[in-house]
Structure formats: C-alpha cells, structure tokens
Amino acid sequence: MTQVINQSINETINQTVQNLTSIQFLGMSVPYSGNIILDIYLISLVAAVFITLVNKYMTDQTKIKALRSEMKELRKKQQEVLKKKNPKEMQEFQQKMMAKSMENMKHSMNPKIMLTTMIPMLLLFGAVRVAYGEFGEFLDLGFTQFGWLGTYICFSILNSIIVKKILDVA
C-alpha cells in the first residue's frame, strides 16, 4: 500500500516538474531568445527598471540627494579634522556622520518599497528558477561558473547601476 502511494506521488511530482520545465509563454518555449544568457540579462534589466522606478517614485529624491551632498561635504571636512589629530573634534564629526547616515538609511530603506518590490521579485525568481534551473551552469567567467541565480545577480548589479544613472535616482 505504501509503495503504491509513494509511486503515485513520485509520478505526480515527475509529471508536474515536466510540465513546469516545458513552459510555453506567448507561443514560445524556454529559452525565449534562443540564448539563455541573453534571456537572463533581459529579465534582470526589466527587474532593475521596475525596482528603480518604484524607488524613484516612492522616495523623496531631493531629500536623499541633499543628505548625500551633506555627507560628501562632511567627509571633506573630516579629512581636515583628521590632519589636526584632535580626538574630541573627530568624535563630534563621527556623530554627525552617523546621524546623517541613519537619516539617509531611513529614507532609502522604506518598508513600503520593500513590500512593493518583494512579491513581484519572488514570483520572478520562482519563474526563472523553474524555466532556467534545469540548464545548470552556463556563465563561465574562467575562474568560476554561474547558474541562473549567479548570472542574474551579476547582470542585476550592472543593470541597477546603469538604470539608476539613466533615470537619475539617488
């Protein structure tokens, strides 16, 4: 009896995995472009644009830019204080820098933004894992190889920097 149940569970799982790995979207099968690396690059680009736009419109960009400008000025002044070697003055500067950093983090790490982006990104990761997880490691940099997640992370970092510069997001 137990063997029959285990066999039917295994068949169900195998059939489900087979159905998931033969994903059809708009009449195309995975990989969509014929090149897995290009697909993951485009997916990470779309995700970077989405996250950047959410950040741009859900944060006070002028306030964040002003805070970063103030912090930049404080760092310049900090170099002058370091040359004086006055511990008390240096401690005051560190407290000012810490306060500005905390204020900047408060504006940048908004829970509303995290919740707005987290659910779509979890769904995206699930879909990409199902679609490209079976292909194994395919991005070879010479010193290491990446599967879908490592490739996505590499492209995501690059795309986020570029998209933030283009859209002028702090």
Q: What is the DSSP string of 16-82?
A: HHHHHHT-EETTEESSSSS-HHHHHHHHHHHHHHHHHHHHHHHS-HHHHHHHHHHHHHHHHHHHHHH
Domain positions in the chain: 1-57+111-170, 60-109
- Average pLDDT value over all residues in the chain: 80
Mean pLDDT along residues 130-134: 77
Q: Flag the least confident range among 25-29, 40-44, 79-83, 147-151.
A: 25-29
pLDDT value at residue 54:
92
Q: Is the pTM of this model over 0.75?
A: no
